[in-house]
Amino acid sequence: MQVQGRTVVQMMFTKYYEKFSRIIYVERIDAREIGIVPFSGSMSRHMWFKEISSFRKFLREETPLHCYYSVAYYRDPSARMGEKGWIGADLVFDIDADHINAPCRPEHTPWRCKSCKEEGTKEVEACPVCGGEVDSRKWFCSSCIKAAAKEAVKVIDVLREDFGLDDIRVSFSGNRGFHIRAVSDEILQLGGHERREIGAYVMGEGVEIFGKRGIIQHIRNVRGGAWVRMPTVRDGGWKRRIAEYLLRAIEEGEIFHGVGEELKRNLKLALSGEAKPHMLVGTKALRRIIKLAERGLAELGGKIDIVVTEDIHRLIRVVNSLHGGTGFRVVPLLEAEVASFDPFSQAVVPFNEAVRIVVQYPVPRFQLLKKSYGPYHSGEEVELPTHAAVYLILRGMAVEKRESIE
Amino acid sequence: MAANIEFLAKYPFTKSGVSFLRKLKVPLEELLQPERRAVLNAAVVRLEQAAGIKPRSVKRAVDYLSEFLSAYVALWMVLYTKNRLLKERLADYESWRFLASSTGEPPDVLLQLAKEYDIRVAREEDELQMHFTSYLRLTRRFSAPEWRLGNREPRKGWVRISWRELRRLLSEAVRLWIVSIEREVEWLPEELRVKADKVKEHVERTVKAKTLKTRGQLPPCVEEIKQAILRGEAVSHQARFTLTTYMLSRGATVEEIVELFTSVSDYNPSITEYQVMHIAGLKGSRIRYRPPSCKKIKLWGLCPIKDGLCRFKGAQ
Ligand SMILES: [Zn+2]
Ligand SMILES: [Zn+2]
């Protein structure tokens, strides 16, 4: 980001915190480490506020670009890392659309040719003009966020059903994903290794589909097939999820070759727990079922950034603060709101004063507060409402147009 | 249920054991009295078995009280040496002893033992369940796939286990109990000091012999794992997998790798050999596994290089 682009951003952030600092909230702030990234200079960590009111005052006066709090609780949050006195930490999950290959991505991947400077907003492998290498950037649309929300819903289901964790806080991360935080004395003291295993579980890692202890439990081979125990919807954990997946696949008329009508009927009864789960399946059919179950596991596994989950000292964004990479608000959400959440209307801070910017990089068409903008090409000068200008500036796609003072 | 001395002789490293010991208030000097000889002798035997100098056995040669005390004297000897590896060995030995002694214990006793270690278990008729927090803590080092949470069916936080599995998990609790003791013992009677030092030297000698065999340039992640193993630290399944596949790709033999693992405190030659052969594609699925990618190693938290400037990057 260019230095001269900062002022309008800074103005918007300052106004925001002046007006809305009262909605900033960090639970048990007295036991948390606070970290901020200022508009200029590097990140400061190990900050401590005794009360939320003094933190709000700090935000009004200092206006940081980013602000974070530790998932950990410390006896002395402002001490150096090894000396804080770790008490415990919430269990967190980070879902980032960047890690999910949403099908819409090629539609909005701006690029610029390194040789001939040709540019565009839809994904290309090489420059269509000269065939040269292109430099491309990531861009996100509401479909991308919807894909991330789907992952969040999966993670929440696992936390609730499998781990019995009921106190779950969800927020939009302010950029392109979601943060999920489970708060409970039970998980407070889990170490990094245990958290990693929970993360792996959520992702469906290490789950055996077929085998002696598999989801589809192999009992013994017989000529031309095998006795297996099918998972059922009455089982727990991944068995239940895969059973539901297979049932859906059958009900939705998913055709799998080699599986006859009778077997399909029996399979349905077994999966739904209406008949004994043990059945004899021919080799070919079994192979199809295993394949389908594997696909189910890959689809149902939560796409999380496990590094965040296992880190017992992690800093995450303060709810209702502004994200310094978008200008969006980190929005706390009810679980029921997650699936339909649209940051491009709900996380935008409606500061509307017109600002002139100069586009620096091709910008795909986008929507904010139900208004469409773009596409823009670089060099283009446009007048936008503050929130839209700030969005492009913070994404590194534009700079503020300012009168020369020389 | 008040723990009786027979129970404590079998299970000395329990909360009840500690409080019983406290009430006894036996001064160390008193153990040197001739009528306490049996305790010292039993303690030395325990330690020698733990260090692998003598074959393991749970045959009781002394009265319950002496047996109980000998467990703690052996522990004090280990703490006196301040040797981590020896402590791991003792922990592993006591864990094994627990498993051997608890064979055939009725459910009530096992449930009481779970309480001794603050392990959350719930029993409903014949169903036994462990809370996932206890389960994760205790299975941390278990590399077999059946222990992975993904192959279990946690429901509302509870994981179903069998009574046999409970015993295995309890024995791990014993191991963790001993490993996590940070107390130091500064003074021991001369006789025990000499014995303790001897055992320590034996353990150190066997480790050194192994260090020499695996010299050569290893990527930093593999090197770290190797060193951790040589120090007798418990390493994760993924770490073992990384080390094994890498050494295999370097042309090491199964025997050489098994050798390297013999310093791991939960070493069991036949299982280790099986695991290594499995990874080498000589057993089981017959798939020869390749060393994991840098990305995987990072994901597993095994990459010690934080700035991304690893000169082995991508080399496999
Ligand atoms: Zn070009
Ligand atoms: Zn998209």
Number of Cα atoms under 13 Å in the Cβ half of residue A27:
12
A311 pLDDT higher than 90: yes
B316 pLDDT higher than 50: no
Question: Is B151 close to A214, i.e. CB distance below 8 A?
Answer: yes
Which has the higher per-residue pLDDT, A56 or B221? A56
Ligand nearest to the CA of A135: 1
| Centre of ligand 2 from the C-alpha of residue A94, in Å | 19
Could you give the percent of chain B with pLDDT greater than 90?
Answer: 42
Structural domain spans, chain A: 8-93+153-198+306-349, 105-136, 210-300, 350-406
Least confident of A73-87, A125-139, B28-42, B271-285: B271-285
| pLDDT at position A25 | 93
| This prediction's pTM | 0.83
Q: Give the minimum alpha-carbon distance from B128 to chain A in angstroms, rounded to a whole number.
A: 15
| Centre of ligand 1 from the C-alpha of residue B154, in Å | 55
Bridge partners of A91, per DSSP, are A182
Question: Is A163 close to B136, i.e. CB distance below 8 A?
Answer: no
B133 vs A contacts (CB less than 8 Å): 186-187, 190, 194
A296 pLDDT higher than 70: yes
Question: Is A213 close to B146, i.e. CB distance below 8 A?
Answer: yes
Cα end-to-end span (Å), chain B: 57
Ligand nearest to the CA of A97: 2
| Centre of ligand 1 from the C-alpha of residue A118, in Å | 5
Minimum CA–CA partner of B235 in chain A? A193
Contact B136/A at CB under 8 A = yes
Q: Is the ipTM of this complex over 0.95?
A: no
| pLDDT at position A3 | 46
| pLDDT at position A159 | 97
| pLDDT at position A332 | 97
Minimum CA–CA partner of A200 in chain B? B150
pLDDT tens-digit series, residues A211-235: 988 999 999 999 999 999 999 999 9
Q: Which CATH architecture has domain A8-93+153-198+306-349?
A: Alpha-Beta Complex (3.90)
SS3 category, A155? helix
Q: Write the DSSP assignment of B159-197 as a string of letters.
A: EEE-HHHHHHHHHHHHHHHHHT---------HHHHHHHH
Bridge partners of A382, per DSSP, are A357
What's the CA gap between A136 and A124, in Å, rounded?
9
Structural domain spans, chain B: 2-102+182-200, 107-176, 214-299
Contact B151/A at CB under 8 A = yes
B247, two tokens: 């050494």
pLDDT tens-digit series, residues A124-170: 999 999 999 999 999 999 999 999 999 999 999 999 999 999 999 99
User: Where residue B216 falls among pLDDT bands split at 50, 70, 90?
Assistant: low
| Mean pLDDT (whole number) for B238-262 | 79
| pLDDT at position A341 | 97
pLDDT tens-digit series, residues B29-53: 777 777 788 888 899 999 999 988 8
Which residues numbered 48-107 in B keep a CB inside 8 Å of some CB on A?
none
Number of Cα atoms under 13 Å in the Cβ half of residue A298:
7
| Mean pLDDT (whole number) for A280-300 | 93
Fold of the CATH domain A350-406: Ribosomal Protein L9; domain 1 (3.40.5)
Q: What does the buried/exposed string (b/e) look like for A115-129 if buried means 16 or more CB atoms within 10 Å of the residue's CB?
A: eeebbbbeebeebee
User: Where residue A1 falls among pLDDT bands split at 50, 70, 90?
Assistant: very low
The alpha carbon of A125 is separated from its chain's Cα centroid by a whole number of angstroms, namely: 26
How many CB atoms are closer than 10 A to CB B311?
A: 9
Q: Phi and psi at residue B126, in whole multiples of 5°?
A: -90, -5
How many CB atoms are closer than 10 A to CB A370?
A: 9
Question: Is B151 close to A198, i.e. CB distance below 8 A?
Answer: no
Q: If interface means Cβ-Cβ distance under 8 Å, which residues of chain A face chain B?
A: 161-165, 186-187, 190-194, 196-198, 200-201, 204-208, 213-214, 235-240, 306-307, 310
Question: Is B145 close to A208, i.e. CB distance below 8 A?
Answer: yes
The yes-or-no answer to whether A8-93+153-198+306-349 and A350-406 have a common fold is: no
pLDDT tens-digit series, residues B94-135: 999 999 999 999 999 999 999 999 999 999 887 899 999 999
